[in-house]
Structure 1
Amino acid sequence: MFLMSNSPSHPDYFKAKELFATELKNANYQFVQEKEETLFRFRTENASKDRILDCLGIVRNYIENFRIYNFEEGYLSIQALNENLFDPQKNLAGKFRIRFSFKSDLKVECSKHGDFSTKEIQAILSLFHFLKAEGQAQKDPRVLLHQLGAEVYDPHLEKAKGNDLGFDSVFGYDQVKAQILESLVFPLIKPEPFFEITKLTRRKPSPNLPRAVLFEGEPGVGKTSMAKIVSHLCGVPMVYVPIESILSKYYGESSQNLAMVFDAAALFPQCMLFLDEIDSLATSREDGLFEATRNLLSVLLRKLDGFAERSGTITIGATNRKHDLDSALLSRFDRKIYFPLPNKEERAKILEGYAKQLSGTDRQKLAEILEGASGRNLKDYCDYVERRWITKNWEKAEMLQAPGISFYLESFPDFGWKR
């Protein structure tokens, strides 16, 4: 007879079946009971042993303790070590098992004597989605990244549309541009000299390429824009990962999402992975972490180390709270580039891009009253003045002229911007 459980953490067979049907819809899988066991089976495209071992990190998000008990050519079996293992009064037959057969198409079977627990069901669903998406991503990683909420910025497609970016697209920041050329652009465009130099300087030559760079600075100082410029200059795609695409309210899912983003990005021959607001992913462990946040940080550190071994692939982290980052994470970044708020001369230079009709002297006056503004603040202010000018001159729209410095100055008190 099939074992039923009244515990909310162990849904019975029929509730579990309904859950799988809801989550997987028309997917090709089997969820059956044989004697007193529940079994979940599915097939997907070929997968290497390394990829299967890597996906075990997903299982660990939900089931912390497990061991490999069978590993031979073409087969891999793992077994969860739950709390029952240490209680001689409990039946050990209820242990959760996963078997992989990857001799031809990948076959996966998850089984247990009795009901699957909620965490075990979550692990199965995550494995299913990961391995199915993995097959799609091998054809085009953009498919998986899109599903994960990440954006792939392709400079070749942008150029075809006439959108070509360069350093002249960002006003000022000459020192930052020099650091980016040194740390990102030159190593990506021509990595060979960075290895050759070590033959002349080191006892054991090794690659001298930065693998992770941290962009630090206040919001609106151009961190994301500069990353897109690097993508254009180097001709490599940029995978932009907004924080909201990673974080999930479900236990373990955020860690899984982050791992899958790295795995999908690694399928590009060459790319930049841009992690925006990385401080939200990995705050300092000294402040005390919830278990889910600790798992997320652990995955991030492990994936950064793995990503660093790939030639031609660089991770960029962006933050405006560097002091909140975990020290182990900070140590993974080879270079940290600070984006300061623009000074008066730089603000005037930025304003040249948004108020070209003003003289240099007028832009200096405007830059002075906008002390403490970021590049984004300056653009927002010019947008506001232009809209206000059109509204004021609505009847003269056909003979519209650009506003003068006096209108820019008189508009400032009503802008509502706070330093």
Structure 2
Amino acid sequence: MAEIRVFGAGPSGLMAAEVLASAGHRVTIHDHMAAPARKFLLAGRGGLNLTHSEPLETLLGRYGDARRFLETAIRAFPPDALIDWANGLGIETFIGTSGRVFPRQMKASPLLRAWLKRLAGLGVTLHTRSSWTGFDSGPAILALGGASWPHLGSDAAWVPAFRERGIAVTPFQPSNSRFAVNWSPVFAAKFAGQPLKNIALSYGQQRVRGELMISREGIEGGAIYALSRHLRDNPGQPLLIDLRPDLSADALAAKLARPRGKDSLSTFLRKAVRLSPPAIGLLRETGTQPDEKGIKSLAVTLGPPMGLERAISSAGGVARTEFDTHFQLIKAPGIYCVGEMLDWEAPTGGYLLQACFSTAVWAAQHLASILEKR
């Protein structure tokens, strides 16, 4: 039996601790916050999207150029395994209409309570307000997080120590974030907080279906998050919004050719082509003609992504070249990194937590196997 330290009490750290303790090792978790899994609990306020039910090949494609880096771990602990694990905690799950997987209770707190109880039963010790202070001897798993929502714990304070040791860290950038748009005060005041549903967004060669949310400072939401890396890394192109993707341009033109009668333009657009008030307001805000071309390719000029402090997740982290195939640091053998501190990103939809859990399981199982051989 070995004594192993896990730094970080988010989902990656807790999962690594469970795997190691289940293998018979004494595990201590250290976290610099006053309570564990603060960001995990925040994510749970919106329902806690654990993973996605789509085919595994499709899911793996959501990780973009990080697929090769993450694929072995995700295949070893795929969505079905994650769902079985949650069910084993007494947390029933269900698949939503979008294919996303949620706890039946739509909260993170019941799952976290059951999880901490299991860890305590396995003999895992949790020390809060206890920080990682740098590299030293002994096996350890680092689950120190990325750089988004830093007030919840992921403040990237570990980066200087890595760079001092010669370990490359790709600079952090916001991912799944709000993008700035210079709305007029009138439009922002009237439509902030309202969604545009059942739309399609095109940016360069990328096209996604979904919805977005108008905010006072810009736009956000699932469809924006799906394009996040492209919007961030290739700025300067217009974002094109198809307000009625289920209608062809010809079908839309036919509906718009109907007599308006005494209806105002807004009322006519609402009745004839079922545009919502925010969609009609957006046509006016951007000076777009309310014809079939404008409705199917409304152009919005985006500013930069909003800061890391409010991004759902972050891109960047410890460079992929710094690891062996089990996320063990080549320059610090016996030290593994898991979760968001690794250099990858993914859209929302269950992909973030899935990779956090999978990398933790994969690394912890490897460490346990190495210790067993010794």
- Provide the TM-score with structure 2 as the length reference: 0.22
The structure with higher relative contact order (CA 8 Å, sep 6+) is: 2
Give the structure with higher Rg (CA): 1
Which protein is richer in helix relative to its size?
1
